Amino acid sequence: MVELNAPTWATATSAMLAFLPGVLLAPINGVIVEKNKPKKLLLSMISIELISIFCLIFVTSLSILWLLFILIFIRLCVASIYFQAEMSLLAKILTPQELKLANEMHSVI
């Protein structure tokens, strides 16, 4: 955004779109994670995130700023679901001591 000399409203909008998925998906993340198989969900979320990050290459001017906004929103929605699924899966496969260590490591990341 800085290299494109984007206006202030564009920077503010991109910041808002980065936080919005966490707020919107918080009430339903658990349902999404529990209704789907972890492996399938994690692989599909990684695939969507990979595609959305690849599409960031095409945002080279302010004329397609809308694409950047969409990609930010999609990527953060997917990341929110992925994180919840990963934490849920760790609780199922690790012992309590290992889970404590895994949670500590995740909080650092």
Residue 95 confidence (pLDDT) = 92
pLDDT digit string (tens) for 26-35?
A: 999 999 999 9
- Within 8 A by CB and 6+ apart from 71, the residues are 52, 55, 56, 59
pTM of the model: 0.85
Average pLDDT on 28-49 reads: 95
* Cβ neighbours of residue 30 closer than 8 Å, sequence gap 6 or more: 84, 88
CA distance linking residue 22 with residue 70, whole number of Å: 15
The pLDDT of residue 57 is: 92
User: Cα–Cα–Cα angle for 8, 24, 63, nearest 5°?
Assistant: 35
Residue 31 is predicted with a pLDDT of 94
